[in-house]
Structure 1
Amino acid sequence: MDLKDYLQFITVIILFFVILWAAYFATKFLGNLQMNKSNGSNLKIIEVIPVGPQKTLQLIRIGSEYMVIGVSKDHITFIQSVEESKLTFSEDHKVPFSAYMKKFASKHHDSNNKIGEDIDESKQ
């Protein structure tokens, strides 16, 4: 192999990383653009329950009204309106990722952690 072959190889490697970099940032940009478009305050999906393959019941809020719709691959069907007073909203209990990491790290150092034990940052 001579110098020309090495330069061609290095050029191909550089082009590969440039294409990877461009694909990453294009995907990130398009994802953020789509996310910003969907941050409306008048329409929100409250709850989704799968009822079959590619079929769901969805509780949605449009303005101040709540509706149940059926969504399938090809159709959206209005089922009924629901009064807000008849709904019960559960409080979101989201466990931060750092709590999972702390539990994982302490599992190797502490034998008190049992598999399946609830992770709750307030206990730590």
Structure 2
Amino acid sequence: MYIAVSQSSRFESIWQLISVSIIFLIVLGLSYFTTKWISKIQKKQSFNKNIEVIETFKITTNKYIQIIRTGEKYLVIAIAKDNISMLTELTEQQLNLTMDEEVSKETFGEILNRMKDLKHKK
């Protein structure tokens, strides 16, 4: 009698583990596809060619200065916790739109090999 109870208990435990695993995978799949669906909706809404944030500078934890492009105008705005103020309007000639740093096109393997060579030369 004891053996039969322990085998049925073992079977119930295995069945419970399998069912919880299946439910977990279903919830995980639903959350993945829901996230993809929401990102597509937000991407369509944010694909706007008339308004663009060019640059953001953080002053304090909740105060920023931003340069934004609205149509053909460039505006400098101050963003605080409860308000947004326009500071000035800029022309395109007043902006420095070039990147200060160039991104390296080396692969990780090339950088790693270069570092190994430097280590062996020492």
Shorter-chain TM-score bucket reads 0.7 to 0.9
Structural mapping, 1:4-83, within 5 Å: 4-83=12-91
Q: Which of the residues 92, 99, 109 maps onto 1:102?
A: 109
Query: Normalized against structure 2, the TM-score is what?
Result: 0.76
Task: Work out whether 1:93 is the aligned partner of 2:102.
Answer: yes
Question: For residues 36 and 21 of structure 1, do their structure 2 counterparts lie closer, same or farther at Cα, with a shift above 3 Å needed?
Answer: same
Question: For residues 104 and 95 of structure 1, do their structure 2 counterparts lie closer, same or farther at Cα, with a shift above 3 Å needed?
Answer: closer
Matches of 1:100 and 1:74, distance apart in 2: 45
Aligned length: 110
Greater helix share, 1 or 2?
A: 2
For residues 78-102 of structure 1, the C-alpha deviation after alignment (integer angstroms, 9 at most, x for no partner) is: 1111111221211473446xx3522
Matches of 1:111 and 1:103, distance apart in 2: 11
Runs ≥4 in structure 1, deviation > 6 angstroms? none
Larger Cα-atom Rg = 2
Matches of 1:53 and 1:63, distance apart in 2: 29
User: Cα RMSD (Å) of the superposition?
Assistant: 2.3
Partner in structure 2 of residue 112 of structure 1: 118
Amino acid at match of 1:93: E
Question: For residues 11 and 104 of structure 1, do their structure 2 counterparts lie closer, same or farther at Cα, with a shift above 3 Å needed?
Answer: farther
Partner in structure 2 of residue 121 of structure 1: none
Matches of 2:74 and 2:89, distance apart in 1: 6
Matches of 1:55 and 1:47, distance apart in 2: 14
